[in-house]
Amino acid sequence: MKEFWNERYSQEAYAYGTEPNAFFKSRIDQLSPGKLLLPAEGEGRNAVYAATKGFEVSAYDWSEAACVKAAKLAEQHQVQIDYQVCSLEHLSFDPAHFDAIAMIYVHFLQPIRSQNLTRLLSLLKPGGSFIFEAFSDKHLDYQERNPSIGGPKDPDFLYSLESLVSALDGYQLIYSAQEETTLSEGAFHQGLAEVVRIHALKP
């Protein structure tokens, strides 16, 4: 699987573009700068945007090729990001370290998905923001009509709003929706999709 991502990121072009995800941008633009963690951040489009807004950005991904592209993008924008090539289990941040954590198109299978979410949420400060966007459990219908939308082909990788909200028990939901959106993110996310979006505050 890691080889798949290294191959995807070995091209000159940025697979999901160099602009931040629109929902991520809309949420970051409302927050005061602080410490931000971006799991499975790929080529750095969201990390670099947040760094230009004054956030102290930590990011990780298991793809070496992603890290190279993220470093290049950060250099172009003259910002610093702490980007580690690893998976979540290798990170060593203290609990309650981050003001915000944003998972953008991080599609994992169970039980890794739940384990990751629990661990990530432990790294968030009380009052901190959890920001999330990923393809919904209706995604395969959208993909059939429009293969350019990309994303997982296995339904077990997809998310329902209901399951995510129940995993965020006690959190204050500022924004939560399973809704259609038209993506224009590089070559691999193009067209109409249904996504799950959340912005929640840790109690």
Ligand X SMILES: C[S@@+](CC[C@H](N)C(=O)[O-])C[C@H]1O[C@@H](n2cnc3c(N)ncnc32)[C@H](O)[C@@H]1O
Residues that bind ligand X (CB under 6 A): 5, 16, 21, 40-42, 45, 61-63, 66, 87, 104-106
Nearest distance in Å: CB 4, ligand X: 8
Nearest distance in Å: CB 108, ligand X: 7
Of 87 and 190, CB closest to ligand X: 87
Report d(CA 75, CA 71) in Å as an integer: 6
> Cβ-closest residue to ligand X?
42
- DSSP code at position 21: P
Of 88 and 200, CB closest to ligand X: 88
Of 63 and 136, CB closest to ligand X: 63
Q: Which residues of 82-99 are buried (b: 16+ CB within 10 A; e: fewer)?
A: ebeeeebeebeeeeebbb
Nearest distance in Å: CB 90, ligand X: 9
Of 148 and 172, CB closest to ligand X: 148
Report d(CA 173, CA 3) in Å as an integer: 36
Alpha helices by DSSP H, listed for 1-91, are: 2-8, 22-28, 45-52, 64-76
Q: How many helices (H) and strands (E) does the chain have?
A: 7, 7
Nearest distance in Å: CB 16, ligand X: 4
